[in-house]
Structure 1
């Protein structure tokens, strides 16, 4: 079972308690909190027995779920809001939430096991796989893409990159096909903008280093210009040399020396010097000694070490603690 956020656990608890008890709780919360909880209730639909039991046990046995399957969704949310906020506010809030949290195509696949999805999709046409992956979250899509055969990875990656807009009818037909094996089908009502370079970059950025390398090499053999454009939008390990010294020092504080030593095996002298100059003289010497003592290291180990450091960099970028200047970017900087 995937780890639930605090907000999701609260929503499970609200559904399990029923509308009357939940309304009493929500009446003591701020409207913004009520809206967030209601949004999660709208998303979850059915709540599995094991999920409910885990949540209830965590809340010290408020409810003991023996054979519990609750129903969230629109009706429950509307009744809950009416009882806690009044009918008029409930209608207004439900209209806003319904528009904001309308389910996207292939949303039902977010509950699927990625391994089962890989097994099912790998025999489908590359264009079908590309359409599905373009609608998944980048995290899940990277797992699925990484599990496909190498030759299929590059074909699918290329199709995601050049994909633009897809009609509702095509999406619906693919969903109907998936319904036979993976339940629920959504009904998109307007053109969906899917695919393109950025979704593919997001997917590759979350893949492991070996998968990243295979995808880019495969794309390069098909379309060198496209591969270069994707590289320009990505932050590769070798791009560490583009970071300023302050950012490098910020990254180094988050990285273990053993991972750093492994990741520096086989890199260019420029990359190694960029790292070394941002360490104290003693730390830099210790790192150089550790790299030397490692001897030959499997490529997979090096890529895993580099991937961990890239995760740190991306996390720091997402939190706004460092800025990555990508080639061809539209952002302007003032020193």
Structure 2
């Protein structure tokens, strides 16, 4: 039996979509509204909470209409279909358009105002893997729209025969019709960007490994031990993803030498004082004989030191290594793969 919806009360006409949503959640209260709140992002909660706090008094007629309208719309649905379009329409009813655009761009794929902006944020390796299965003429059109440096990196990743064919077509290419560009954009949007967005959802263990890397050693170990008791698989995964002081032993001699050159000498002496003899040897080997002799003397002159101070100094060297890697001065051996490197 369908619910008969009364005429909208005059008081409700001054409410926008966001205010209606806030009012409905206020009416539902803690018990019935909790499952809905749990599905919202932090930003959505802030938006709705702000609107709710400014609602003022809600007349009984407004409360009744909102509940009846909600019940009527839900009960009339034979089924629900979730898609980008239905999600966007739903969000448009409860928050400003600029917020909707921001959220939908994050959901759909790499950021950027246009398809070509988005494509410029895609790794050349990923893009080349997709393009090598496309028609060379389509690849030529796509690369002609990219920035030259990005197009060059993509070409370098393509098989040579495909790359030469694409370059030849780009040289002969005249003005591309607008309809062709639109068709290519639509293909990229529907086939590539959508799948890429799903594939690129980051493993939360990777983010958590970065958090653990920033902890001091005692906190890190106590937290991982606690995780071992509750979710051993996750604890093991986080450990595997972390880059630790011990991983510095896997670096090439040139990388160790760069770290030694840029490190604070007091910090390095403290870090090595608490390090195994094998690691000390690796660092000493990258110094001149005189510098190594002075470093040993500094370590001996420290006397007894707290283990925590050594661990903090070691964490400092790890942070320095990552900073140098981000600047492209060294490469770090990826602990997830003995043969891979990350820059």
Fold in common (TM above 0.5): no
TM-score by length of 1: 0.40
Mark the structure with the bigger radius of gyration.
2
TM-score by length of 2: 0.39
